[in-house]
Amino acid sequence: MSSFLTKRLTYMIIILLAASMMIFFLYAMTPGDFISGDLKLSPERKAELREIYGLNKPILERYGSWLWNALHGNFGYSLAQQKPVLTLFNEYIWNSFLLAIVSTFLTWVIAVIMGVVAAYKQYSWFDTLVMVVIFAAMSVPSFFIGLYLIKVAAVDLKWLPPGGMLNTGSNATGMEYVKEVLQHMILPVTVMTLLGLGSLTRYFRSNMIDVIQQDYIRTARAKGLKERKVLFTHALRNALLPAITLIGFELPALFGGSLIIEKIFNWPGIGQLYMLSFSLRDYPLLMGFTMLIAILSVIGTLLSDILYRIADPRVKV
């Protein structure tokens, strides 16, 4: 296991180094920036700001300086927000994490249940209904579902708030604060759950269909075990094993997948901050966020490899 971890950690460092180069040069070579886009600044002031922020230095020197600071936990200074990038992450990322963790939990629980039942009742009316709902959810854009839910649940029926994290001017504390946040979470969590449900349900359904056709499942049934025990103890356990690899994709998706949803529902998360920074060309913050996603992707892949090796020692990664 130690040689395995050493090899994987070496790969991680190489991948992150390559990712940092791609991210920095992609943003650095993009025409325009936050300073040139500010029409209120005089040419002399723009030149002065470029000198202050080091934007007039050669690109390789800027990359070396940025990488050195990043290795020491400093991802730069947001030009638009006038705060360190990591300070902004700490202010916004927990709101995104709250949405992401709840929607991910619901997505996996619902997908496992629907996938198992649909596979067990293959070609039944329930299986057909599940497939129709899955394809419908996968075909409709996220912004359409979000706007439709706002119109129905918030505007027409007035059951839920249309956006934000708290009511306007709210000074709620304690349980009142928790209640307001939960009410505001329902719509964005619903959209995020629907978006992730389609592909995951299909994945579990396909795995379960393959597993329940294996000889050891027929043997378990022949021994007289109850069908529930055969499905959820013998079949589901083996069907879930390949799903470990999905953890590598889920970790970065916790934040990357909520960009549009947070914008639609005005949720004060890292996704909405990223969208705002993109329109202002605030490259230090954009580079920091993209690098964060790259780090989460590599960590997620490492976790999935380790878990898969623990679950199945025959596998050599």
Residues 83-104: pLDDT tens digits?
A: 889 998 888 888 888 888 898 8
Count of Cβ atoms closer than 10 Å to residue 59 Cβ: 11
User: At 216, which amino acid appears?
Assistant: Y
User: What tens digit of pLDDT does each residue of 162-182 get?
Assistant: 888 888 887 888 888 999 999
Strand-pairing partners, residue 45, are none
User: What integer pLDDT is reported at residue 256 of this predicted model?
Assistant: 66
Distance CA 29, CA 32 (A): 9
Q: What is the mean pLDDT of residues 231-254?
A: 74
Cα Rg, the chain, nearest whole Å = 24
Is residue 220 pLDDT above 90, yes or no? no
- The tens digit of pLDDT for each residue in 109-140 reads 998 888 888 888 888 888 888 888 888 877 88
| Full set of structural domains in the chain with CATH | 90-280 (1.10.3720.10)
Query: Which pTM value belongs to this model?
Result: 0.80
Categorize the per-residue pLDDT at 17 as very low, low, confident or very high, splitting at 50, 70 and 90: very high
